[in-house]
């Protein structure tokens, strides 16, 4: 599947124009991981967003830095993203993401590159940030309902 098709199916980019999607594709860099490879590590600084193009990843979270057995939160696949909080803040990674496929291919978007295209196109920035806010709101609401 080609990059524009994958990006076009990513909820984060829902509502942007084909021209804007093309601009996003130009700041993507492909990386591959093998099963067991860490893509992100909880607690480390983050400045990249990852779009999963092929394969699957597992999102793991530890309650404490010394926790020897992090808890699996979710498995994600093609068209899903991880690391979107890195586009919003400069905080540490909230989870570890690890490849669970023999080969996982992701497209990487650097925060600096993303900020640059958003400065050049406010509509793109608005739509993506609106989508991030809606997703985070959903996750918080779901977490609240599950614990309440």
Q: What is the CATH number of the domain that holds 109?
A: 2.60.120.10
How many Å apart are CA 86 and CA 89, to the nearest integer? 6
Q: Cβ-count burial of 89 within 10 angstroms (0-12 exposed, 13-18 middle, 19+ buried)? A: exposed
The pTM assigned to this predicted structure is 0.89
Would 16 be classed as within a structural domain? yes
Q: What 3-state class would DSSP assign to 92?
A: strand
Asked if residue 134 is part of any domain, the answer here is: yes
Residue 148 domain flag: no
Per-residue pLDDT of 57-107, as tens digits, reads: 999 998 877 777 888 888 999 999 999 888 788 888 989 999 999 999 999
Residue 124 maps to a domain: yes
For the chain, the domain total comes to: 1
Work out the angle between the directed axes of helices 18-26 and 111-120 (0-180°, nearest 10).
Answer: 150
For residue 147, tell me if it sits in a domain: no
The string of pLDDT tens digits covering residues 3-41 is 999 999 999 999 999 999 999 999 999 999 999 999 999
Q: What domain range is 67 assigned to?
A: 3-142
């Amino acid at each position: 599947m080609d990059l524009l098709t994958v990006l076009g199916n990513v909820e984060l980019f829902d509502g942007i124009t084909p021209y804007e999607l093309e601009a996003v594709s130009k700041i993507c860099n492909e990386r591959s991981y093998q099963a067991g490879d860490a893509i992100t590590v909880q607690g480390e600084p983050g400045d990249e967003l990852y779009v999963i193009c092929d394969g699957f990843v597992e999102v793991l979270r530890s309650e404490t830095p010394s926790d020897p057995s992090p808890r699996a939160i979710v498995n994600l696949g093609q068209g899903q993203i991880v690391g979107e909080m890195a586009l919003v803040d400069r905080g540490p990674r909230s989870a570890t993401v690890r490849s669970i496929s023999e080969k996982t291919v992701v497209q990487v978007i650097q925060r600096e590159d993303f900020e640059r295209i958003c400065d050049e196109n406010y509509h793109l920035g608005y739509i993506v940030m609106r989508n991030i806010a809606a997703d985070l709101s959903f996750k918080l609401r779901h977490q609240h309902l599950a614990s309440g």
